[in-house]
Amino acid sequence: MPGRPVRSIQARDLSMATLMSHESKLRVFDPIHESGWDALIAGHPRASFFHSSNWARVLVATYGHMPHYLGVEREHQVRALLPILEVNSFLLGRRGVSLPFSDECELLALDGPDGDQLIQRALELGRARRWKYLEIRGRFPQCLRPMPWVSYYGHEIDLAIGADALFARFDASVRQAVRKAEKFRVQTRVLTTPEAVQTFFQLHCLTRRRHGTPPQSFAFFRNLQEHVLQPGNGFIVLATHEDRPVAAGVFVHQGKAGVYKFGASDPSHLHLRGNDLVMWEAIKWYASRGYSRFSLGRTAPSNKGLRRFKCGFGAGEYPINYFRYDLRRERFLTGHEERSGWVNRACRLAPVFILQILGKFLYRHIH
């Protein structure tokens, strides 16, 4: 459905690295090659793992996307930031996305004119690069007030009260599930090794098949291990029962914010409640190390079971909106809904190796 158009701006060639605006510099950054990138964004209270150079390295190494991180720089500090990766697909065309495979990557510094300036510059860049659309995931400058393309729920836990108080706030069913896992002697370990990634990937494939979607490629997780887990910006919590892997989760972090990125489990051992124990171990890990918040990622409104699971850990719920601007029709798009249908049913019946091939091909083109 068509949305409200944005004020038209004459397209410019933004291949130059710096654009001047009054006393500010509007710069196009490449976080992979920018010296001290993570230190530049560390001062912003809402900067997350998805704004980091580590995450950019994973996506670029796996899919070859081109970074166009737009920033407003004043007094040698990045005051506002809109990370964008250019997704270039022969199937779906060229698009700008902030950011692919990121649950939420909000435009930083929304309260002043900088946010509006970055949006306008991003649209100029998109016209110059011939993008089909620009997609932004997270909060948007209030001056534009577009309708969202699609909406999700976000869940976040305030870790300030400490692990014991957090456990007391869990739903009774979650506390019971954690105790049940411990009673069955499910063991957990915090790992960052390639072997742990391989084990997680095997569970990930089983879980995606159960959900009716292809798995991410193993190359994606190999790059995640190299660029995120190994440098110390994430870990895997692996749950085992009698030396057999039953559940695992991938957790990433930047600054004082942790993120639950992926979860997986053996469908034949769900009764052991390994998923609940994995989440509890991660919460304890972050709370004991002084992290201030822990995000549980996005959830589709239709996925009531996952919403209950996340809220059961005492997480607060809030909306995550995605905004899509069609650069061919010069307007925001609205009214999109995610659908499952026959594709999901077919994936549930397909062999795992077929889904792995499908995922390796598809995720290079979608986001």
Nearest 5°: phi and psi at 39?
A: -70, -30
pLDDT of 233 higher than 70: yes
34 burial class (0-12, 13-18, 19+ CB within 10 angstroms)?
Answer: middle
- Residue 12: predicted pLDDT: 35
312 within some domain: no
DSSP-based three-state secondary structure for 204: helix
Residues 6+ apart with CB under 8 A from 103: 50, 137, 152, 154, 259, 295, 297, 298, 320
Average pLDDT for 105-117: 78
- Residue 91: predicted pLDDT: 83
Position 14 confidence tier, pLDDT thresholds 50, 70, 90 = very low
93 burial class (0-12, 13-18, 19+ CB within 10 angstroms)?
Answer: middle
Q: Are residues 147 and 35 in the same domain?
A: yes
* Angle of CA points 314, 338, 158, to nearest 5°: 15
Q: Are residues 136 and 179 in the same domain?
A: no
356 within some domain: no
Average pLDDT for 235-260: 97
Strands 133-137 and 93-98: parallel
DSSP-based three-state secondary structure for 51: helix
Average pLDDT for 102-118: 81
Q: Are residues 37 and 104 in the same domain?
A: yes
> Of the candidates 104, 99, 120, 160, which has an alpha carbon nearest to the alpha carbon of residue 289?
160
- Of residues 13 and 102, the one with the higher pLDDT is 102
User: Distance (Å, rounded) from C-alpha 236 to C-alpha 105?
Assistant: 22
CATH number at residue 77: 3.40.630.30
Average pLDDT for 103-132: 87
Q: Are residues 210 and 185 in the same domain?
A: yes
User: Distance (Å, rounded) from C-alpha 125 to C-alpha 143?
Assistant: 20
Q: Are residues 73 and 33 in the same domain?
A: yes
- Residue 259: predicted pLDDT: 97
pLDDT of 44 higher than 90: no
- Residue 340: predicted pLDDT: 58
pLDDT of 336 higher than 50: yes
Provide the number of structural domains found in the chain: 2
pLDDT of 142 higher than 70: no
> Of the candidates 113, 49, 119, which has an alpha carbon nearest to the alpha carbon of residue 84?
119
- Residue 74: predicted pLDDT: 76
Considering the chain, what is the average pLDDT of its residues?
88
Q: Are residues 103 and 28 in the same domain?
A: yes
pLDDT of 37 higher than 50: yes
Query: What one-letter code names the amino acid at 279?
Result: M
353 within some domain: no
Position 207 confidence tier, pLDDT thresholds 50, 70, 90 = very high
- Residue 32: predicted pLDDT: 95
What are the DSSP calls for 212-230, one per residue?
A: TSPPPPHHHHHHHIIIIIT
**286 DSSP assignment:** H
User: Distance (Å, rounded) from C-alpha 363 to C-alpha 367?
Assistant: 7
Residue 45 C-beta-side C-alpha neighbours within 13 Å: 2
pLDDT of 242 higher than 90: yes
pLDDT of 246 higher than 50: yes
Q: Are residues 33 and 116 in the same domain?
A: yes
pLDDT of 7 higher than 50: no
Position 315 confidence tier, pLDDT thresholds 50, 70, 90 = very high
366 within some domain: no
Q: Which residues form the domain of 187? A: 160-291
User: Distance (Å, rounded) from C-alpha 280 to C-alpha 175?
Assistant: 9
Q: Are residues 57 and 40 in the same domain?
A: yes
Average pLDDT for 294-307: 93
Q: Are residues 173 and 254 in the same domain?
A: yes
pTM for this prediction: 0.90
Measured in residues, the chain has a length of 367
Q: pLDDT > 70: what percent of the chain?
A: 90
68 within some domain: yes
Nearest 5°: phi and psi at 141?
A: -55, 130
pLDDT of 56 higher than 50: yes
To the nearest 10 degrees (0 to 180), the angle between helices 274-288 and 172-183 is 100
Q: Are residues 221 and 275 in the same domain?
A: yes
Q: Are residues 186 and 213 in the same domain?
A: yes
Average pLDDT for 151-167: 95
Cα 297–chain centre separation? 7
30 within some domain: yes
Q: Are residues 51 and 165 in the same domain?
A: no
- Residue 366: predicted pLDDT: 85
User: Distance (Å, rounded) from C-alpha 365 to C-alpha 217?
Assistant: 13
Residues 6+ apart with CB under 8 A from 220: 58, 62, 363
311 within some domain: no
197 within some domain: yes
